[in-house]
Structure 1
Amino acid sequence: MMSAGSGSPSRQRSTNNGPVSDAGFVLDVRSFGRRPGTMRELHRTATEHERLGLDLIAIPANAEVELDLQLQAVSEGVLVTGTASGPTAGECSRCLEPFTDHVDIHLTELFAYPDSTTEQTTTDDEAYRMVDDLIDLEPVILDAIGLELPLQPLCTPDCAGLCPECGVRMAIAGSDHGHEILDPRWAKLASFGSDAPGTGDPAEGSTNPNHPAASASDDAESRSENLEEK
C-alpha cells in the first residue's frame, strides 16, 4: 500500500489542489511558451515532507530527493524524463530489523496542456495535467515508487530470518544454533521411562514373582527337580 498525504488518487493532486510555485517538486514551464522542441535540463534537490512508498519500505518524511530531469515541449504538453533519487528506510520482511537503502526512480511522463487533445480525451487516471503552466512531480514520484520498491524488502539478499523455535535472528545466533525437537508421538514414552523405578536391568525385576524374569527362573528350577527325580 502506498502512503502519501490523505491517500487520494495521486494523478488528481495537481488538478484538484494545484501547485503554487516553482520550488521542490513543482516545475515552472511558462518560459516554454508551448513551442514544440523547446528543451531545458533541471537539477534540483527537493525535500519530501511526507512519507512516500509502501508499508514496509519508503522514502521517509523530510528526506532529500535528487532530481535530474530533462523537460521538452511537445505539441500536446511537456514531456518530463530523467531520474529522482532518494534514501529509503524500511523493515526487513524476514528478520523484522530496520534498515536503510537508496532508490533511483526513472521517469517518463507527459503533462498535458489545458484544452489539448490529450487533456480532452483522457481521464485524470490516464494522464497528468499542467495547472497554470506548472508541473507537480510529487504524484508522478508517488506512482513510480510504488512500482520500484519491493513488497517484501530484505535487509540483505541472503537474510536467514528468525529461528522458528525461539525467534532469535539467525544472523547473530551462530552456526551451531539449534533445538532438540522430540517427536510428540514419543513424548509420553520418554516421560514414562524417566519415572519408572530401577535402572532398566531386566534382572532387577527377578525379585518380583510376577516379573517375566522371575517366572523364567522358577520354570528352570522346576525342570531341574523333575530330572533329578527320574
Structure 2
Amino acid sequence: MSKHHSAELRRTPSGPWVIDTRDLGRRAGLSRRYHRTVTTEGDFGLDLIRLAPGEEVEVDILAEAVVEGVLITGSVAGPTTAECSRCLDAFTGEVEIRVTELFAYPNSATDESTDEDEVSRVVDDLIDLEPAVRDSLLTALPSSPLCAPDCKGLCPECGGKWADLGPNHTHETMDPRWAALQKRFGGTEEEN
C-alpha cells in the first residue's frame, strides 16, 4: 500500500489530547498557545512508575506552523504513582516532561519522505498529543524508581525491609560444607 493511499485510511483523532490547528491556517510563522487540563486514562508509564490514573495533568504547549507541518513544544506535568524498586513500597510524586514533536502536513515533503511511524501527522487539521506525551514520558521517568535516595531495600534472607529491621539484624548462616559435621556432632561452629 502506498503512503498516499495509507494517508486516506488514517483515523481522525479525537479525545482530550487532540488539538485543532485550523487557527494556524498552515501559514508558517503563526503560533498559538494551548493550556488545558486532561484527566489521564489508561496506562501512561512504565511497570513501576506512571502518571496516576484518573488524575489531572496540566498540558501547556505552543503550536507553531512551519513549512512542513506543526511544531509542538511545551510541557506536561502531573502526579505519579510508583513502587520502589528496592523495598517495593508504594509512593507518589510529581513529574514534568518536555514535549517537542513535529506533526507533518499531509502531502508535505516530510509526509512523503518518512515512514508512518517516524513522524507524527496532522489529520484533518487535528493533532493527537497522546503518543508524543507517552513517548516523552517513557524517556523521562526513572526505570528504577526509589521511595528515597537512601532506601536500603529488603533483606535477601527474610524479605523484611532493612529500614524496619534495625542495624543488628542478622541471619545465622553456615558454610554448607560444615552442615554434615554439625548434624553429626551438634552445635554451631562458634560453640566447637
1:8-37 Cα distance to aligned partner (Å, 9 max, x none): xxxx9xx743223xx621111101111111
- State the 1:74 CA deviation: 0.8
- The AA in structure 1 aligned to 2:13 is P
CA distance in 2, matches of 1:181, 1:78: 64
* Corresponding residue for residue 37 of structure 2: 45
- The AA in structure 1 aligned to 2:166 is G
- State the 1:97 CA deviation: 1.6
Does residue 190 (structure 1) correspond to residue 174 (structure 2)? The answer is no
- State the 1:115 CA deviation: 1.2
- Unaligned runs of 5+ residues in structure 1 are 1-11, 201-230
CA distance in 1, matches of 2:112, 2:10: 16
CA distance in 2, matches of 1:19, 1:187: 68
Query: Percent identity among equivalent residues?
Result: 51
The number of equivalent residue pairs is: 181
Alignment match of 2:12 (pick from 18, 41, 56): 18
| Larger relative helix fraction | 1
* Corresponding residue for residue 118 of structure 2: 126
Name which one, 1 or 2, has greater alpha-carbon Rg: 1
- The AA in structure 2 aligned to 1:53 is G
Q: Is the 8 A contact 1:60 1:89 kept in 2?
A: yes
CA distance in 2, matches of 1:82, 1:194: 70
1:137-189 Cα distance to aligned partner (Å, 9 max, x none): 00101111111122222222221111011110111111121122222222333
* Corresponding residue for residue 3 of structure 2: none
CA gap of 1:17–1:63, structure 2 versus 1, over 3 A, is farther
1:93-152 Cα distance to aligned partner (Å, 9 max, x none): 221221212221111111111111111111121100011111110010111111112222
- Considering only aligned residues, what root-mean-square deviation do their CA atoms show, in Å? 2.0
Q: Residues 139-158 of structure 1 correspond to what in structure 2 (within 5 A)?
A: 139-158=131-150
